[in-house]
A and B are shown apart, each in its own frame.
Chain A
């Protein structure tokens, strides 16, 4: 379970998170929507400890992420994250990209890591791209490879930070299909997204981020059909 409690985070004078509260249960898919710059992505990078927080706390399975005694390298094994920008390791093939962390972090043998990497790459539809370098993959393929790379660590939680935002429109579908596949597998996911239909169809709950706080969080039916918060209503009427 991920518990976000009264988290405040600023970059210099700019307050990005202003008291965020969010609980995500095992197996749950939560979509986070909201206008750009509202702090959605920052929340994700705080959850796996890539960013420090100013106050509040974030607990993952009861372990406080930002406590001094927390071994972040160990904690991050169970939190996978995929970013908006392509972030493949350009000097490694798709297979090697996925094998790196299982080998170096989990200490698997080459054969073990390779078996897992092949499984995960096949799962995201890249079985025929194993020996291809990222430079020769399309944006959609790179994102799917990044998903496979995160999944190879068998994380308990997956965080997706606008993974389709940098893609050409015709490539968005293949990545969203991969995300749906994961959701159906029962993966616990937090998806920051601008894809309303995805949020509606796949999520257990949808959260609306506005000016550094979670203005509203509700199951998709209620969220899209009967939003409570005036800002949610305004936002939804603009994206429709």
Chain B
């Protein structure tokens, strides 16, 4: 015990450099010669190193705290926090997430639209005017729609090189014929062909784009007179449910179509037109809609593409109003609307026989 104490005192003195040269050399020699002393010394030295390491650490910590206390901490914090507002920082952080979410949403929307067949329809509008494009067997609905859209803003329009077919009917016996405006609006020339096959050149004498009405006059010198018209225009509104029919030229031959009046308004609540449930096709445009008694209640002008049997006909009273609005001096002859109905007591087939002589195919070039 005593010797251990003395040894460690010497060791401490040696480590601290407090020994004189002679003693130090003697101590070193002792360590070299005695293995036990050497081990004991190293052990002690290591422990003292730990102790001084501890002291140094405490000292360093103290120094660091002193330095820290001299700093302007609020200023450092202010500079450390980005100056972007919260929303920008959130955006930076969640940018990727939100972009991914948005992409997924957009993809889902368009995939759904695609799957449900939204894009398989060529036109988004459900409304289609009924003139027949004679140049293509396949009815180009899209082109027609584009033409309809242009009705009001572009009267001269782009001249469409193709020509159209539609229907018209005699308005008065002296050669006036009624059809729809959209049929003849871009026309270079208009011809009329009756059911016997005779063609007459006509000119457009009046148009009313708002009601989709056009009045043509036969200017061919071969033409004399239609003869007396069998039908009249119905002055009063027709009733829903009434049996109606039309004759038109969706192809080169006259085609009869029957149905009933299904609504008092047209496409999207248009009060100018009736909705009639008659199968109609491009080419039926301009055809008369007659009731059981042979009164014209309207003029076919369009149909709804999405709905079966929803065709639209301009109401006869608007047709009459439009005709009445034609300035008299713009016409060569007066339009005399027939007031005597000779169809009233005939059955349907006989009515048709009589009526079809006054219904014509309109050819537009």
- A associates with B: no
